[in-house]
Amino acid sequence: MAPRFDTDFAPDHGELIDVSPLLRRIVCNNPSKFTFHGTGTYVIGRGEVAVVDPGPRDDRHVADILAALEGETVRQILVTHTHGDHSPAAAALAAATGAPVLGFGPHPTAATSEDDEAVSDDRDWDTGEDRTEPTEEAQAKAREDQEKHRPDVDFSPDHRLAHGDVVDGPGWTLEALHTPGHISNHLCFALTEERAVLTGDHVMGWSTTIIPPPDGDLRAYLASLQLLLDRDDATLYPTHGGPISNPAPYVQALLDHRRAREQQILARLELGPCSVRELVADLYQSVARELWRPAARSVIAHLIALNDGQRARPVVDPSHLMATTTTWERT
Ligand SMILES: [Zn+2]
């Protein structure tokens, strides 16, 4: 079964709203093709609270969080991972509240931002993308977005969280779940009292998750999906988009979707060696051509995973794993 995406979610920006007895959410006004309507910052508990994923470099969002929590105490600031739409505001929020920042660890050196060009040689690859020069205004907006969302390479948590570590406050308990795949330092946070998990970018209801190699790792991602399947949670709360209730069938569908793609790639390689470009043109025939570039990144993530599992290998030069022109074959 293909995953069914929920794209109806339409939050008001800058307003802290109740989403469950122990959870409130305030969405940053940073909508994009990667953040959907924006970053959903969660507040855990009442009175003495934790803040999860404070968001991008956005003074307005930090001011909104502080105003909404006036009269309450921020005990901890937690971060699911160091992409620019999740963690950078932790520094400003920590400075304003004195609360410690907790996360898995610094930004991995091999990690790219979500919108980086992951494929190295695709400048000359005609994917049918619109190449008209963007207006000056659009360019300025793009530059501003890029600055706001650049990866949080300076992230340095006051406390490092490992899988199974617990953070708590009055009436609430959060357990850190290490869920690499999207990025190697990704954590989810299980809210024990509500059988809920804050899933960051690991599982989102509105879209599949980008696995950007080389730090993004498809095999790790599949194992991290299995980790959620092995639990018995009632609700998932992604950083972007609405909650996912009865998550098991949805997470299973995400797994099945990746396995089916892997089978398609293997079947195509059975017919003979084949480049990433040919694979994309074949497997994504029915998909709009402007999506071929992200599709190539996804295919490369699969091929690297198959290479690790010794089920496929690059024919020519193993140093060119990231190139769309590299030809691959079955082992
Ligand atoms: Zn991310």
For residue range 94-130, list pLDDT tens digits in order. Answer: 999 999 999 999 999 887 666 554 455 555 677 776 6
User: Quick one: pLDDT at residue 143?
Assistant: 85
Distance of CA 300 to the CA centre of its chain: 17
pLDDT score of 302 more than 70: yes
Compute the distance between CA of residue 148 and CA of residue 154 in angstroms, rounded to an integer: 14
Separation of CA 120 and ligand 1 centre (Å)? 21
User: Quick one: pLDDT at residue 179?
Assistant: 98
Separation of CA 149 and ligand 1 centre (Å)? 10
Separation of CA 80 and ligand 1 centre (Å)? 9
The edge-to-edge listing of strands for the beta sheet with 48-52 is: 17-20, 23-27, 40-44, 48-52, 73-78, 101-103, 159-160
Separation of CA 114 and ligand 1 centre (Å)? 6
Compute the distance between CA of residue 65 and CA of residue 35 in angstroms, rounded to an integer: 18
> H-helix or E-strand containing 177?
strand 172-178
What average pLDDT does range 250-278 have in this prediction? 93
User: Quick one: pLDDT at residue 327?
Assistant: 84
**What phi and psi values does residue 118 have, to the nearest 5 degrees?**
-90, -20
> Band of the pLDDT at 219, cuts 50, 70, 90?
very high
Separation of CA 274 and ligand 1 centre (Å)? 30
User: Quick one: pLDDT at residue 117?
Assistant: 47
User: Quick one: pLDDT at residue 118?
Assistant: 46
Who contacts 110 (Cβ-Cβ below 8 Å, separation ≥6)?
Answer: 184, 214, 215
What average pLDDT does range 219-232 have in this prediction? 97
Nearest Cα to Cα of residue 308 among 221, 183, 178, 208: 221
User: Quick one: pLDDT at residue 299?
Assistant: 92
Share of the chain above pLDDT 70, in %: 93
What average pLDDT does range 46-75 have in this prediction? 97
User: Quick one: pLDDT at residue 209?
Assistant: 87
Mean pLDDT (the chain, rounded): 90
Separation of CA 201 and ligand 1 centre (Å)? 5
Separation of CA 77 and ligand 1 centre (Å)? 17
CA distances from 142 to 34, 134, 148, 207 (A): 13, 10, 10, 22
Beta partners for residue 176, in sequence order: 189
Separation of CA 240 and ligand 1 centre (Å)? 10
- Determine which of 32-36, 115-119, 155-159, 167-171 has the lowest per-residue pLDDT on average: 115-119
Separation of CA 170 and ligand 1 centre (Å)? 30
Q: Which position has the higher pLDDT, 12 or 268?
A: 268
CB 97 within 8 A of CB 62: no
> H-helix or E-strand containing 280?
helix 276-283
Share of the chain above pLDDT 90, in %: 64
Can you list the alpha helix ranges (DSSP code H) found in 150-270? 218-229, 247-270
Residue pointed to by tokens 């977005």: 145
Separation of CA 252 and ligand 1 centre (Å)? 21
What average pLDDT does range 129-142 have in this prediction? 80
CB 64 within 8 A of CB 26: yes
- Determine which of 57-66, 112-121, 185-194, 258-267 has the lowest per-residue pLDDT on average: 112-121
Separation of CA 180 and ligand 1 centre (Å)? 11
pLDDT score of 322 more than 90: no
Separation of CA 1 and ligand 1 centre (Å)? 25
CB 82 within 8 A of CB 111: yes
What average pLDDT does range 137-163 have in this prediction? 90
What average pLDDT does range 201-212 have in this prediction? 88
Separation of CA 72 and ligand 1 centre (Å)? 29
Separation of CA 188 and ligand 1 centre (Å)? 12
What average pLDDT does range 60-79 have in this prediction? 98
Compute the distance between CA of residue 151 and CA of residue 104 in angstroms, rounded to an integer: 15
Q: How many helices (DSSP H) and strands (DSSP E) are in the chain?
A: 7, 16
Distance of CA 215 to the CA centre of its chain: 12
Give per-residue burial for 295-313: e unless 16+ CB within 10 Å, then b. bbbbbbbbbbbbbeeeebb
